[in-house]
Structure 1
């Protein structure tokens, strides 16, 4: 029997999406497959942003330290940046413009500026090394980068145009770069021409680390990003209506504590784009700090918190937790990694006015997938929830794409109009992951129960998810193998209460060679971003076990060393 909260949510969403409703559904044929979509959806991100920014007017939008800007001010700044890109640098529709910075107000206005021109925005992972940054820019064919000082320094020597933000004139001159603020001083306030943009034009390229080395650029169309944001919007409005019906007094303005990176799909779609639509204020954290987060929740009366499960755990465990008034929080959501089931009830008791939630989505699905919300999440804390209505369909299939019965494991596949169109300049990877029928193969192994709840039990792909960041085991192994004393290596995930997983490795040195763990760690740090460096390395005195195919038996190694890790008191 369906849970009462689920029935009510489905009924509320059905009313919103019924014929004549605010979000009426129709059927659309996209790249040969039919999907439900929204009848009144804007054709482009430019139209979506213009409508909602103008609707919000003088409401406060971005708060960063002592800086406060309204929706109208941010949109005007975005138009001014778009003019700089067009008048001063010749950026046109389809050109790739990268945004490479930590969370700053300029991240938002730069992203919006690119969308206004119909450029393809490339959000760059700010944690990437110089080598990774250069790869992403070269692979995407980026013409211009808007970067903060740290990223601009990492791009030293790259011939791509870079406009810097939050950078002194002396540093910009030292780097041979131009400051965006200086360009704004001489450029018109608005672009002179805005080209037509269609639903199937490319909108963004977001890089995601898969199981095979270099990151792949997931290419979202205008339609896929817009409908992904609207799918979140429908669910959010349904829950607000349910709260009102239950007698909850809603604040005049929703307030989001922005502590996830805007360059991640969670930060850009369900956080930023939905915030713009509903007039939600975003209080920007430049860098995560649990104590600072508690202070900001109280000061700004934050109503909504979302982050990887590590973050909510740190909020609960912080010694100053009880010193702050956190009663404004209405929802504490998680994503990017599984949350240990025992944390769910702890959240409900640690934040009595807030309801826990968990989302499951991927860069390739524009963050849309499944959601486990409020009381339903407390009932099934080890599930990632049901398919996100009204657009998403989730299926469990075997290797031949035969549907698996309820309760039986298979590959989790997601089908919706919000899925990206494929991988940038990578038809082989696109064909392997995106089927003509519209299904995207996630690489996760799971099952659906008789209520449609999804349970993720394993991964088919050889990746580690550390604090919401995908790490390719192949990439880390390649860095280890480049050490001259290494004969064999295997990399796998180790369970961790705080980060979800950590990078673990076992290494067999070449006979006669001396290898020290500390020196190996220092060696791989040259090639790997800090979050990819192994947290634990074991040296094996014997060659690593092999399968009949002669491949290293990673499954056996992972099981064996996870047991050792647990026996050492790690969780």
Structure 2
């Protein structure tokens, strides 16, 4: 039976999207499929960003250390970036431009400006090592890169790499060594506005975000302007519904919502539900330079933060921090999580550790522009193992068998998501696109799950061979390839191991060629040259015997994963 909160939310959403309402929902044909859409949605991100950034112009938007910027400041800088890259590099509609940096105000301004121009934004993972950065740039056909000093240094180590790099937050002397020019110098020598803006259609490409799946190389998920706009607006409806319920209940709300930004903007959670929704509702974002639970508590108190979202690891560290009670975090309303599963037992602990604060969890993927399901407040405490119901009004979720047929409540199958927010496919990969996206609009997530009688989704396992470490997807095949690069390795198997803090960590077991001797630590160190730090195995075992095989002669990963997971659990219990 649906909870009272579910019923109230459903009723409120129906009013918000009713005929004649500002957020009215109708039906449109998108890539051959009839889907719900917002009737009055901005046709592109240019209109979305322009309208909301100017509507909230005078409010404070971005805080980074001692720097503070209004919505108007960021919008104006974005327009100047659009003009500058058009003037010097000839960037035009459809050209791919990468942003490779940690969370800085310039990341946001570049994102705004490039989308305004009609360029396709390629947010690069700031943890990628040089060859991974090369792959993203070359795979996407990137024409220009805007990078901070650390990423620029990584690009500078690459041989035969000629894509120009505009550097951010670098000294004048250093910039000459690392890139084509500094952003400050580029802006100073360029006109203030673009000389021409091409029309942008809803079906035009807006972003390419790379995601690691079961294959060795990341795939670039291509989102259209319509998809990104609708992903953001679907979150906006959920937020407005909760706001109306709070006002009806007489809850006193602050004049401006404040978000502690501690997740990367290059992830879908950072860019859509956090950044784009913040722009729409006039929410201030306080950027953390680097995650630290103690610093987070200080910033929540100092900036009077109302909202916190991060991978479950982060809320766990907040909860366990020894100085937690020394800070005034009374303004905090919600403690949300996403990107990875939160252990069910942590939900009640979180609610008890932060009385009056509301735990929440979301489930979405890069391929769905972050929308999927959500579980919040008392519903989450009642069903802590669930990621919640399909997010209204755009999202449909079904559990399917291997033939794509919908399964009944309680049956386990592949989780499939359909909405106008789904990406159109993978960049330059028609075969992978055809495997993941059906003709009738469903994205096959690769996750195994079930729906209960109320439509609540429970993720039970994964079909795809990936590890989710603290919200980062890791391809087992990619890590295995790095291990096989060592000349002493005959067989390798990589899998996820349980970890209370990160959810999962990377585990590996190898069998060496006859006569070879290599210590596990040396093998782990060997992989650091080719893998981002979060992909490097945390634990590695050397087997004295060849690894077990299936009838097909493939390594029996299922039994190895089970064996070593049990070993890790037993050792943890004994400590």
Question: Shorter-chain TM-score: which interval?
Answer: over 0.9
Distance 1:452 1:395 in 2: 9
Q: 2:336 is matched with which residue?
A: 333
- Cα deviation for residue 519 of structure 1 reads 1.0
Hey, what does 2:248 align to over in structure 1?
245
CA distance in 2: counterparts of 1:159 and 1:241, whole angstroms: 52
What is the alpha-carbon distance in structure 2 between the residues aligned to residue 365 and residue 47 of structure 1? 21
1:171-186 superposed matches below 5 A: 171-186=174-189
Local SS of the residue matching 2:433: helix
Alpha-carbon shift at residue 175 of structure 1 (Å): 2.1
Alignment of 1:119-158 (within 5 A): 119-156=119-156, 157=158, 158=161
Alpha-carbon shift at residue 186 of structure 1 (Å): 1.3
263, 266, 281: which is aligned to 1:278? Answer: 281
Report deviation, 1:348: 1.2
Aligned length, in residue pairs: 571
Give the distance between the partners of 1:466 and 1:172, measured in 2 at CA.
34
* 1:445 is aligned to 2:451: no
Deviates more, 1:34-43 or 1:520-529: 520-529
Residues 332-386 of structure 1 deviation map (CA, whole Å, 9 limit, x = unaligned): 1100000011111111122223211100000000000000011100000000000
Instruction: Give the C-alpha shift of residue 500 in structure 1.
Output: 0.5
1:213 pairs with 2:211: no
Residue 350 in structure 1 maps to residue 382 in structure 2: no
Q: For residues 84-233 of structure 1, what are the structure 2 equivalents within 5 Å?
A: 84-156=84-156, 157=158, 158-233=161-236
Report the Cα distance in structure 1 between the residues aligned to 2:441 and 2:55, rounded to whole angstroms.
34
- For the aligned residue pairs, the C-alpha RMSD in angstroms reads 0.9
Q: Distance in 2 between matches of 1:85 and 1:174?
A: 20
Q: Which residue of 2 aligns with 1:64?
A: 64
5+ residue gaps, structure 2, are: none
| Partner in structure 2 of residue 49 of structure 1 | 49
Contact 1:503 1:532 in 2 (8 A): yes
1:410 aligns with 2:413: yes
Cα distance in 2 between the residues matched to 1:2 and 1:477: 45
Greater displacement, 542-551 / 419-428: 542-551
CA distance in 2, matches of 1:286, 1:47: 30
Residue 176 of structure 1: CA displacement?
4.4
Describe the superposition over 1:130-160 as per-residue Cα deviations: whole angstroms up to 9, x where unpaired. Answer: 0000100000000001100000011114210
Deviation at 1:177, TM superposition (A): 2.7
Take 2:355 and 2:229, find their aligned partners in 1: how far apart are those partners? 34
Aligned pairs for 1:267-346 within 5 A: 267-346=270-349
Q: Which has the larger displacement, 101-110 or 508-517?
A: 508-517
**Stretch deviating more after TM superposition (379-388 or 511-520):** 511-520
Tell me if the contact between 2:98 and 2:142 (Cα under 8 Å) persists in the aligned partners. Answer: yes
SS in 1 for 2:222: strand
Distance 1:373 1:288 in 2: 24
Cα deviation per residue 1:453-489 (whole Å; 9 max; x = unaligned)? 0000000000000000000000001111111111111
Q: Is the 1:397–1:404 Cα contact (8 Å) retained in structure 2? A: yes
2:424 matched to which residue of 1? Answer: 421
**Alignment pair present for 1:30 and 2:54:** no
Task: Provide the C-alpha distance between the structure 1 equivalents of 2:231 and 2:329, rounded to a whole number of angstroms.
Answer: 30
Contact 2:425/2:437 (<8 A) preserved: yes
Equivalent residue in structure 1 for 2:564, among 551, 558, 561: 561
2-structure distance, mates of 1:147, 1:176: 9
> Counterparts of 1:424 and 1:268 in 2: how far apart (Å)?
19
Cα–Cα, structure 1 residues 381 and 176, in superposed 2: closer, same or farther, change >3 Å? closer
Question: TM-score when scaled to structure 2?
Answer: 0.98
1:62 aligned counterpart, secondary structure: strand
1:81 aligns with 2:81: yes
Conserved 8 A contact 2:301-2:328: yes
How far 1:174 moved relative to its partner?
Answer: 2.0
Q: Quick check: 1:548 aligned with 2:537?
A: no
Q: Secondary structure at the match of 1:57?
A: coil
Which deviations, in whole Å up to 9, do the C-alpha atoms of 1:85-143 show, x marking residues without a partner?
11111100000011000000000000001001000000000000000001000000000
Do the aligned residues in 1 keep the contact of 2:164 with 2:179 (CA within 8 Å)? no
Gaps of 5+ in 1: none
C-alpha deviation, 1:189, in angstroms:
1.1
1:457-468 alignment runs, 5 A limit: 457-468=460-471
Superposed CA deviations along residues 393-419 of structure 1, whole A, max 9, x for unmatched, are 000001111111110000000000000
Query: 2:80 aligns to what SS in structure 1?
Result: helix
| Aligned-residue offset at 1:165 | 0.6
TM-score computed with the length of structure 1 as normaliser: 0.99
Whole-angstrom CA distance in 2 between matches of 1:335 and 1:460: 20
* 1:424-478 CA distance string (max 9 Å, x none): 0100000000011000000000000000000000000000000000000000011
SS of residue in 2 equivalent to 1:21: coil
Say if 1:358 and 1:371, in contact at 8 Å, map to a contact too: yes
SS at match of 1:155: helix
Aligned to 1:384: 387
CA distance in structure 2 between the aligned counterparts of 1:137 and 1:259, rounded to whole angstroms: 25
Q: Distance in 1 between matches of 2:379 and 2:317?
A: 23
**Contact residue 486 and residue 509 of structure 1 kept, 8 A:** yes
- For 2:358 and 2:336, the matched residues in 1 are separated by 8
Matches of 1:56 and 1:354, distance apart in 2: 27
Matched residue SS, 1:136: helix
Assess if the C-alpha contact under 8 Å between 1:43 and 1:223 holds in 2: yes
Tell me how far apart the structure 1 counterparts of residues 249 and 381 of structure 2 sit (CA, whole Å).
Answer: 18
Please give the alpha-carbon distance, in whole angstroms, between the structure 2 residues aligned to 1:279 and 1:442.
32
Secondary structure at the aligned position of 1:23 is classed as coil
